[in-house]
Structure 1
Amino acid sequence: MKVGYLGPEATFTHLAVCSCFTSAKQQAFSTIPACMDAAMNGEIDLAVVPLENAIEGSVNLTIDYLIHEQPLYIVGEITAPIRQHLLVHPARKEVWADIQKVYSHSHAIAQCHKFLHSQFHSVPFKYATSTGAAAKYVSEHPEQNIAVIANEMAAETYQLEIVKRDIHDYEYNHTRFVMLHPDRHASVQVNPILTSRPKTTLLVTLPSDRSGALHQVLSAFAWRNLNLSKIESRPTKTGLGNYFFIIDIEMAIDDVLIPGAIAELEALGCKVKLLGAYNAYSL
């Protein structure tokens, strides 16, 4: 099996892939869309991309590309702890407090806002496509007085020095990564030591001319005692005020409860699409 991930090496996505797939071949992609395109085209067997962070919320690029561009299915999920460190080139270790720029992914920088505001409030940021790409850039430019926010794997891979550990704003910093495949029934073989729980994810579009539709949608799940762990709105991109909803249900898809809820939603005039029925793993 070949697993694609948001690269280059030593991104948090790569770290999750290494923990979850111990024997799979790996292929890095420079962007989330490139990774998802490769899964759709059959270049890889599975795409692993970030979906949501506990501090910064959803990765909208992943959601929008999944909904509007590549109709892949979620066939698995990995939740991994995120520890953000401040790294510099070894040549800059002694003068790291005087760095002139911080380089990283926008989500990583946002996760460390308090630290950056207190320590480097006047230092500009430069955004990269991933923390791994930022670490690679810093390693290749020792002449520049810059730092990167990344993980310990990036420090080892690109031979950088960790000068400040755990700089993220909140202790509980976790990210959900989704495994994507064109076939929703695709089997996923992961590290057997990982624990999992079943989940089902639906995409629901409300009828435009029905008042109270969202309340009725939630009621369809509530009276069936279906536990929703997340409901999120995203614009349909067809006009202001038009949204669809992504709903996570904390159970495997069955023959009665979830199909019954879907049938009730469709009777209300909603459009419903199954995005995936899968196992959610925790590292």
Structure 2
Amino acid sequence: MKLSVLGPEGTFTDAAAKAYLKTQPYANVTLDYHPTFDQVYQAVSGDNIGLLPLENQLDGYVSATLQRLQTAAVTEIGEITIPVDFGLVANVDNLSKIKRIYVQFKTEGQCQKLLSSLPSAQIITTSSNMISLEKFQVGDLGDAAIIPQSQLAEVSVALKQNNVADQADNSTRFIIFKANPANLVELSQTSLTAERFKAPLFITPAVNDQPGTLYDILGYFAKADLNLITIMSLPTKSKLGVYSFYLEVSGNRNQQEALFTTLQELTSSYQVHPLGYYAV
């Protein structure tokens, strides 16, 4: 069995994957590293599973993951949240001498205080924190990188700075998914032993430019006393101005019937794209 994740080894996604496996009864799981979100998705087939970042405490949702979930034929089977912290490495002896700094695209949004204190430094965006480190290690005098705090001790440089995120209590939530689309009937038959559940989904209105659409959708959940912990709109990309709503429903296991009755009722007026139903 393979667990496909964003690589290389040493990233926060790698750490999340290893933390998730400690909570599961899986045996003989191989971590399968890929450089892009698309390659992680494409690698998940059969009994294999995948893991991708969904939400950061400081920088919000990861659009690259949400955009794929919007149309992907996958089923989310769980999630895990881990703390994330960053350090700075530079081959200069003073922050003011930094000319170029490598930083992963989501890390940038979590370290704005540091980056705004370096107005003359060129920011080079990378696809992973470990790629930031790799580019720094083969770079020129004046280069710097923001990398996972856990990697700081492994790097020998003139300047290191600990804990450069905008706040100390920073964390990222990751989703775990398997191949094949989620199905409302099959999900409704899932038996959860945990007290709480989460059910993520997309709802797409038949007519977007209409007053009261979101109010109507929310009414279904309010009537069933189901708690919505996330509401976001994303463009469907089919036409300018056409949007889907990404929702995450939370509740206790006694509300399972109410949840799936509500989702089934919604299908009569809206396009419902369920993504999973799992214990939290």
TM-score where L is the length of structure 1: 0.83
For each residue in 1:137-172, what CA deviation from the matched residue of structure 2 results, as whole angstroms up to 9, or x when unmatched? Answer: 22234x443111111233356666871112111333
For each residue in 1:170-209, what CA deviation from the matched residue of structure 2 results, as whole angstroms up to 9, or x when unmatched? Answer: 33322111112114589xxxxxxxx995211121111207
Code of the aligned partner of 2:43? A
Code of the aligned partner of 1:258? L
Contact conserved, 2:53 with 2:62, CA < 8 A, in 1?
yes
- Equivalent residue, structure 1, for 2:147: 150
Matches within 5 A, 1:105-124: 105-118=104-117, 120-124=118-122
Contact conserved, 1:96 with 1:147, CA < 8 A, in 2?
no
The CA distance in 2 between the partners of 1:266 and 1:84, in whole Å, is 44
* Cα displacement (A) at 1:130: 0.6
- Equivalent residue, structure 2, for 1:266: 267
For each residue in 1:2-24, what CA deviation from the matched residue of structure 2 results, as whole angstroms up to 9, or x when unmatched? Answer: 21111112111111112222463
Matches within 5 A, 1:1-283: 1-22=1-22, 24-40=29-45, 42=46, 45-68=48-71, 70-88=72-90, 92=91, 94-95=93-94, 97-118=96-117, 120-141=118-139, 143-156=140-153, 163-183=160-180, 184=182, 197-208=196-207, 211-251=211-251, 256-267=257-268, 269-280=269-280
Q: In structure 2, do the counterparts of structure 1 residues 156 and 4 end up closer, same or farther at CA, with 3 Å as the change threshold? A: farther
The CA distance in 1 between the partners of 2:2 and 2:159, in whole Å, is 31
* Cα displacement (A) at 1:263: 2.5
- Secondary structure of 2:225's counterpart equals coil
Contact conserved, 1:93 with 1:163, CA < 8 A, in 2?
no
* Cα displacement (A) at 1:94: 3.4
Contact conserved, 1:36 with 1:180, CA < 8 A, in 2?
no
The CA distance in 2 between the partners of 1:160 and 1:74, in whole Å, is 41
Code of the aligned partner of 2:221? F
* Cα displacement (A) at 1:218: 0.5
* Cα displacement (A) at 1:115: 1.7
* Cα displacement (A) at 1:96: 5.3
- Secondary structure of 1:261's counterpart equals helix
After TM superposition, the structure 1 stretch with the greater mean CA deviation from structure 2, 98-107 or 209-218, is: 209-218
> When the two structures are aligned, how many residues end up with a matched partner?
263
Contact conserved, 1:104 with 1:128, CA < 8 A, in 2?
yes
Structure 2 runs not aligned, ≥5 long: 23-27, 188-193
The CA distance in 1 between the partners of 2:33 and 2:175, in whole Å, is 15
* Cα displacement (A) at 1:75: 1.1
After TM superposition, the structure 1 stretch with the greater mean CA deviation from structure 2, 176-185 or 49-58, is: 176-185
Code of the aligned partner of 2:12? F
- Equivalent residue, structure 1, for 2:191: none
Contact conserved, 2:136 with 2:144, CA < 8 A, in 1?
yes
For each residue in 1:106-131, what CA deviation from the matched residue of structure 2 results, as whole angstroms up to 9, or x when unmatched? Answer: 2111211112212x111110011111
Code of the aligned partner of 1:24? V
* Cα displacement (A) at 1:240: 2.1
Code of the aligned partner of 2:197? P
Q: In structure 2, do the counterparts of structure 1 residues 255 and 111 end up closer, same or farther at CA, with 3 Å as the change threshold? A: closer
The CA distance in 2 between the partners of 1:103 and 1:261, in whole Å, is 47
* Cα displacement (A) at 1:215: 0.8
For each residue in 1:206-259, what CA deviation from the matched residue of structure 2 results, as whole angstroms up to 9, or x when unmatched? Answer: 120754221111011112111111011100112222111111111367652012
